[in-house]
Homo-oligomer: A and B are copies of this chain.
Amino acid sequence: MNQVSKIDFIKAEKLKEKPDPDTLQFGKNFTDYMFMMDFDGENGWVNPIIKPFESITLSPASFVFHYGQAVFEGLKAYKTIDERSVIFRPEKHIARLNASCKRLCIPPLDSELVLEALTTLVELEKDWIPEKEGTSLYIRPFVISTEPYLGVRPSHHYKFMIILSPVGAYYSDGQLNPVKIYVEDEYVRAVKGGVGHVKTPGNYAASILAQERANEVGYEQVLWLDGKENKYIEEVGSMNIFFKINGEIYTPKLNGSILPGVTRDSVIQIVHDWGIPLHEELISIDDLYETYQKGQLEEVFGTGTAATISPVGELKWEEHVMTINHFETGEFAKKLYETMTGFHYGKIEDKFGWIKEL
């Protein structure tokens, strides 16, 4: 990290006006700069550059449009209460990005260079990190295959880019609002042997229809079951899922079709640290319902970069409606949320080494 940066820089002629942090919509505003790097078979990854955020020009025959060879990540930078700019667990996200590349036959990225690109770009754009508690700067690194070619085999050309988007508070009043979740028993997101355990666009494309159907009947998200038996709980649209049962914590074990969430991993470490029993195991929806009927299902919550912790107030499975904790945010989810955001905003000492300061 002491070497001179290999990253080129083109200065923007004019900077944009920053949007009002109170009315920010997720994923709609982008900052002044972006990072870009190209891959070709002969030279590998070349031409790393930070330049003004702008459109890219591609052949309509570009591989990504036809065969979807692409991967991405999602992580966040925060402004701490003492005005430092920090990124949450970038190394872990970069490792997952490279795991995604591997599964999609995309040439691996140099992790150090990606980390340098991330930190340099966010440092340059640090005025875009909103200051209010609950807000953040969303970081989207992604790789697309760009060769103009219509045969199915790994593309010979790629672009790696990082774009940044300031995002408002997920919970407007600091109160965590429980969500209603529909247990999907017809559509399937992923199956063992497929690509569910990595972040590739096709997983999300495949999920849209079920999500729409759930919305139509008043549910905000879908809880996916496994693709083989339509029985074991996997994860929510863009969150992993946890259950508090009789004072202990349960989450589906990583089985090859669930995304290994960085927030999931962080929550597991915190719960271990608290000395509370935590079980990563196969959890069938039938068993969960039985637990619910016995009055033992105390809390349900999702974990993900977008919302950090998202309490679940209702689960609908077939004709059964499970109301969790009287549709109120549980104490445990709340405490986890405060702990996680405590790390994000520098209110708790970084004992796990998760915070990358710029």
**A34-B60, A149-B27 known; A194 vs B200 contact (CB < 8 Å):** no
Specify the main secondary structure of chain A where it touches its partner: loop
Chain B neighbourhood of A53, CB < 8 A? 60
Does B154 lie within 8 Å of A212, measured CB to CB?
yes
- Which of A27, A34, A211, A229 is most buried by chain B, counting CB atoms within 10 A of its CB? A27
The residues of B that contact A64 with a CB separation of less than 8 Å are: 64-65, 201
| Contact between chains at A163 and B60 (CB < 8 Å) | yes
Decide: A27 and B65 in contact? CB cutoff 8 A.
no
**Complex partner residue of A194 from B26, B60, B149, B188, CB under 8 angstroms:** B188
Beta-carbon nearest neighbor of A224 in chain B = B193
A68, closest chain B residue (CB) = B201
Given contacts A104-B205, A205-B104, A206-B202, contact A165 B150 (CB under 8 A): yes
Query: Is residue A67 within 8 Å, beta carbon to beta carbon, of the partner chain?
Result: yes
Residues from chain B with Cβ under 8 Å of A1 in the complex: none
Interface: A153 (CB within 8 A): yes
- Interface readout for A207-245 with B: 1 if CB under 8 Å, 0 if not? 111011000000000000001111000000110000000
A254 to B61, CA, bound (A): 30
Return chain B residues, CB-CB under 8 Å to A227. Answer: 191-194, 227-228
The distance in angstroms between the C-alpha atoms of A93 and B140, with both chains bound, is 36
- Give the residues in chain B near A200, CB-CB below 8 Å: 68, 202, 205-206
Q: Are A67 and B201 in contact (CB under 8 A)?
A: yes
Given contacts A60-B55, A150-B26, A152-B211, contact A68 B161 (CB under 8 A): no
Is B69 in contact with A205, judged by CB distance below 8 angstroms? yes
Q: Which of A187, A201, A203 has the most CB of B within 10 A?
A: A201
Residue of B nearest to A143 (CB): B65
Whether B66 lies near A204 (C-beta < 8 A) is yes
Residues of A within 8 A of B (CB): 26-28, 30, 34, 53, 55-61, 64-70, 72, 103-105, 138, 140, 142, 144, 148-154, 161, 163, 165, 186-195, 200-209, 211-212, 227-230, 237-238
